[in-house]
Amino acid sequence: MDLMEQSLTPALIVQELDKYIIGQADAKKAVAIALRNRWRRMNAREDLRKEIIPNNIMMIGPTGVGKTEIARRLAQLAQAPFIKVEASKFTEVGYVGRDVESMVRDLVEQAVNMVRAEQKERVMEMARENANEQILDILIPPVRKRGRAIEADEDEIGYPVSANTSDEQLNERTRDKFREKLRRGELETRKVELEITLPSQQVQVMGPFGMDGMEGLQDMISGMVPKKKKKREMTVAEAREYLIEEEAGRLIDMDAVTRDAIERASNSGIIFIDEIDKVAVSGGGGGPDVSRQGVQRDLLPIVEGSVVNTKYGSIKTDHVLFIAAGAFHMSKPSDLIPELQGRFPIRVELSPLTVEDFIKILTQPRNALTRQYEALLDSEGVKLSFEQDAVELMAEMAFTVNQEIENIGARRLHTIISNLLNDILFDVPDLNTQDTFVITRDFVQQKLGSMVQKKDLSQYIL
């Protein structure tokens, strides 16, 4: 991970983000510098390393322009734990609301899952071998007396059974033969009886403020409940999958996973707080405004740096990177309490999307919508293609609908292209003659033009 981050210069980070996100150069530059600064901090003088805090970022811009996608892709690039939360979820108080510390607990959970998956990948080969040996024990038990091992068919074993062959020799030779058959996949459909462990019954533990903070106690009590086992008949292939998961769980060192996850979450974790504008308070007042201001004050120590207890142990949030985002239509960043504003020193404004941006979004990113639908229909043996002027008309329509109804940014393209291709997607499995569809400007105009011209835009509202 360290070597990967060393090779990721800010210019390369922006270059990678450009593959998936159109425009928003300022925001990409800000997050690229923030990611590079993490590597710089880890390689700085030891006496100053702990003193260097991340420059948290506030993204300001309308919905659907790429705020969340930039943060998510950045985390993928850095192989860092990442979670997204909505600040508005913390506005309710009492037992129905969520504790702001839950975002940190969720981050640690994500880190644990990430490290566990990496460890699982490392032990997978050994887990597969162990699973095959357990299946072999079911098929040919390692007995020392004549029994099931000798009952195997000579044709299946591949050699004649001699009366002079000892029990141990016959058993081992038979197991070797069956072991080879297992590796070649020749016994996949054979039925075996396997004793499986049933999932533990979850014990619900309710505290005075809901479930937040009660997960560790709940897991502990659930772990004390005896696990039930049951014999079940399944194929060798099904038994192998079950046993691989069980063996991988045994081979993974969860103490090491937990230590690595805590370290990774605290030094590399990214928390994306969306809808931060929903907890901003414009002017004085009581009622809901008091709740919103309370949420800001609860967020402050987490963003500043504090110790949060999780079921995996304590984590410091001093070096977690926080990225806040909001449209700020009804409020402005200065409506946040000054202390919280100061914890987001880097501010970037994201631009509203233009028709030209929509055209690029439809065609240029690696996961462009046109490419996604081409791949979907290709799975049915059908070729789909879009003419350039058809793409331009779709972009113009998306821009028009955003202007007329509500600006939801690039998300509008999903609705446009879905309405455009619904009939094709429905009919394709039953078509035997046509194997190519070319989307032209006339086709787009025919399917969608009249609705836009009549301002009948209700179908486009998500």
What is the Cα–Cα distance from 321 to 277, expressed in whole angstroms? 19
Q: What is the pLDDT of residues 100-146, one digit of tens each?
A: 888 999 999 999 999 999 998 898 888 888 888 888 888 777 755 44
Evaluate whether the domain defined by 2-111+260-349 bears CATH number 3.40.50.300. Answer: yes
Number of alpha carbons in the 13 Å side-chain half-sphere of residue 92:
9
Tell me the residue type at 203. Answer: V
3-state secondary structure of 151: helix
Q: What is the pLDDT of residues 9-21, one digit of tens each?
A: 889 999 999 888 8
Which CATH fold would you assign to the domain 355-453? Answer: Helicase, Ruva Protein; domain 3 (1.10.8)
What is the Cα–Cα distance from 280 to 364, expressed in whole angstroms? 36
What is the predicted pLDDT for the residue at 317?
A: 92
DSSP 162: P
What is the Cα–Cα distance from 339 to 298, expressed in whole angstroms? 12
pTM above 0.95, yes or no: no
- Residues in Cβ contact with 145 at an 8 Å cutoff, skipping those fewer than 6 apart: 167
Tell me the residue type at 62. Answer: P
Q: What is the pLDDT of residues 37-47, one digit of tens each?
A: 888 888 888 88
∠ CA(149), CA(151), CA(156), 5° rounding?
A: 90
Q: Which two tokens stand for residue 420?
A: 């455009």
Cα dist from 242 to 123, 202, 223, whole Å: 15, 21, 21
Q: What is the pLDDT of residues 331-342, one digit of tens each?
A: 888 888 888 888
The closest of 213, 386, 426 to 308, measured between CA atoms, is 213
Enumerate the β-bridge partners of residue 233.
Answer: 193
What is the Cα–Cα distance from 293 to 288, expressed in whole angstroms? 9
What is the Cα–Cα distance from 215 to 213, expressed in whole angstroms? 6
Instruction: Give the pLDDT band of residue 81 (cuts 50, 70, 90).
Output: very high
What is the predicted pLDDT for the residue at 150?
A: 44
What is the Cα–Cα distance from 337 to 322, expressed in whole angstroms? 17
Residue 260 has pLDDT above 90, yes or no: yes
Q: How many helices (H) and strands (E) does the chain have?
A: 20, 11
Enumerate the β-bridge partners of residue 191.
Answer: 235
Domain ranges of the chain: 2-111+260-349, 128-258, 355-453
